[in-house]
A = this chain, B = another copy of it.
Amino acid sequence: VSLATELAAIVGAEHVEADVWLTDASGLGASAPLLVHPASAEEVRRTVAWAYERGVAIVPVGGRSGYSGGIVPEGRDPLVAVALDRLNRVRSFDPLLWRIEVEAGVTTATVQRLARENGLLFPPDPGAPEQSQIGGNLATNAGGPHAFKYGVASHWVTGIEAVIAPGELARFGGPTRKDVAGYDLRGLLIGSEGTLGIITSAWLRLMPAPATAIPVIAGYPTIAAGVQAIEQALASNVVPAAIEYLQGDVLQHAPPPFLDASEIRFLVICEAESEAERDALLDALGPGARTYDATAVWRWRGGVSLVVRGVKGEKLAEDIAVPLDRLGEAIERTLEIGARNSLDACSWGHAGDGNIHSTFMFDPDDASDRARADAAAEDLFALARDLGGTVSGEHGVGKLKRGQLIGQWSEAAVGAHEAIKHALDPEGLFNPGTKDPRPVTAALVGDGSSTGIAS
């Protein structure tokens, strides 16, 4: 009996695919020998139990909108990829109690829409909400612009249901808003990128939607002037809902339709949620500051990444984060790294969280360009560590940043990370190669081609 036949007995033959190319927004890709689409948490459990018994590697797959190649299969054969797209039910929704329980395959946009239609807000707002799924948001502990005021995804999760080794369905937390009865396994699985188990559903907190959202925007002639304005915003006694920046090159590639950015080298967007906050932020950002329409601002802001990608056909977009006092330096040095590697560089990001999307544009058909982009990424990770920051603020490590933790954390801390992995996944079957703290050389599965930036 073939593996595919055995899987068909669990999920149904029509929900088993063979030799499926799996890729995400990182451009990395590889072929999965088998991909299944279970219909329920119980079918996920049975799939994992089956895999764990046979020593088959397991790769959870969400909306495929990640930026780190976390779903790119690698390192093992046999291997089964497990898509969560059919776990798309809203299990319960209590708008009056500010909570919702959704399965892992429900899209971020669905949760945001259900909340909005009931006067509520689900604050996490990573990009690509129509495509990304809650399971993936939690697997990476996703952030987004509004994480500055409202926190990252984990803060909005009171409980998860997950399939853990060797094939058990477990709940950690639930609808209760506070719980310290056990270790925070909820928080540990969140951000673990499918390497400790597969999240099958989550209880999410919601909150009343702010009455208004008013972007207050100002342009500056230098990075230093813009960073200084951000510090003034922090001194204004307001917690802006978001503090974003876009460096001048980004504005050239993706000019905002609502203002003339041709002379601007650094744009700051702060979001106010009341008229008093608006006035304080207008004052803090200086005489050039104006308010703009929130819908127009965020629609443009959400499209920046894709536009920049289109400039040369591909980009390496990282997500390092640094302490706030090193923000200006990190932005300046991103440009220097680009120049040093003969690449067009730019950056934008979540300034208030020190989380910068340093981006190197390149031609995907030019092997030399690609090699220089990889070298620039290494320089960037070294920069993050040098500034006391992190190689990943919100995208996750995936395949793209594996091996980097060893330089960021001490040997003892990395040892603790590895001990956790071994304790919860003793056979090492959950998403092999993703979030590896140390550099590894792993064999590929699938078509045997080298994992790399897909053309």
Contacts and interface: CB of A to CB of B under 8 A. Distances in A.
Given A208-B239, A424-B419, A394 B187 contact: no
Nearest to A411: B168
Interface in A48-71: none
A422 B420 contact: no
A176 B354 contact: yes
Contacts of A274: 274
B182 A388 contact: no
A332 interface: no
Contacts of A440: none
Contacts of A172: 409, 413, 416
Contacts of A295: none
Contacts of A437: 182
B184 A208 contact: no
Given A97-B234, A208-B238, A420-B420, A184 B154 contact: yes
A185 interface: yes
A147 to B, nearest CB: 7
A178 interface: yes
Given A419-B423, A423-B420, A412 B168 contact: yes
A140 B239 CA distance: 27
B231 A393 contact: no
Contacts of A321: 176-179
Interface in A310-359: 321-325, 350, 352-355
A196 B394 CA distance: 26
A183 B176 contact: no
A180 interface: yes
Contacts of A211: 237
A205 B291 CA distance: 28
A214 to B, nearest CB: 16
Interface in A408-429: 408-410, 412-417, 419-424
Contact of A177 (B99, B180, B354, B391): B354
A394 B188 contact: no
A354 B97 CA distance: 11
Size bracket, chain A contacts: 35 or more
B185 A187 contact: no
A300 interface: no
A18 to B, nearest CB: 31
A280 to B, nearest CB: 10
Contacts of A350: 178
A373 to B, nearest CB: 20
A133 interface: no
A321 to B, nearest CB: 5
A415 B423 CA distance: 10
A259 interface: no
Interface in A160-180: 164, 168-172, 174-180
Contacts of A238: 208
B423 A182 contact: no
B180 A188 contact: no
Contacts of A423: 419-420, 422-423
A260 interface: no
Contacts of A119: 237
A180 B397 contact: yes
Interface of A: 94, 96-99, 119, 140-141, 143, 147, 151-152, 154-155, 164, 168-172, 174-185, 187-188, 190-192, 196, 207-209, 211, 231, 234-235, 237-239, 274, 321-325, 350, 352-355, 388-397, 401, 404-405, 408-410, 412-417, 419-424, 435, 437
14 contacts: A96-B231, A97-B324, A97-B325, A99-B324, A151-B155, A164-B416, A172-B413, A177-B354, A178-B355, A183-B196, A185-B416, A208-B237, A209-B237, A419-B424
Given A147-B178, A176-B393, A184-B188, 10 more contacts: A154-B187, A164-B412, A164-B416, A168-B415, A172-B409, A176-B323, A176-B390, A178-B394, A179-B321, A179-B393
